[in-house]
Amino acid sequence: MPARLRHCVECPECCTRYLIGFSPYSNGAYLVSEASEALGDYKLFCFCRRPRVVSQWSRNKLKVYEVSNAAYVRGYGSAGEIWLSPRYRSPAEEQRKGVR
């Protein structure tokens, strides 16, 4: 069965990848949409360290990942379960490619 394609964010400390739309996560992490500040920005709160790790993600910088079934059920996973899709480039990547 082919992997599912989903946008994800990654904790910069533990490198766990989180699927957008599955928050809150069973490991305690959660993702907040910052729609009031800049349309489509997200903040990821990961509890892999104390104090928690907070990272910010802009919607236009999100990448598409292929997600295994097990990681999809959890809503998060490791790089071995959620990997960058070689089949898809974001609009920003396509635009940069065309500029060269």
Helices (H) and strands (E) in the chain, counts: 2, 8
What percent of the chain has a predicted confidence (pLDDT) above 70? 80
When mean pLDDT is compared over 21-30, 34-43, 50-59, the highest value belongs to 21-30
Check pLDDT > 70 for residue 90: no
Please state the rounded mean pLDDT for residues 58-82: 93
The number of beta carbons lying within 10 Å of the beta carbon of residue 71 is: 26
Distance in angstroms (rounded) separating the CA atoms of residues 45 and 55: 7
Give, in order, the Cα–Cα distances in Å from 9 to each of 24, 37, 97, 98: 13, 18, 23, 25
Check pLDDT > 50 for residue 39: yes
Give, in order, the Cα–Cα distances in Å from 49 to each of 2, 60, 83, 85: 34, 27, 23, 28
The reported pLDDT for the residue numbered 37 is 53
The reported pLDDT for the residue numbered 43 is 93
Please state the rounded mean pLDDT for residues 36-45: 76
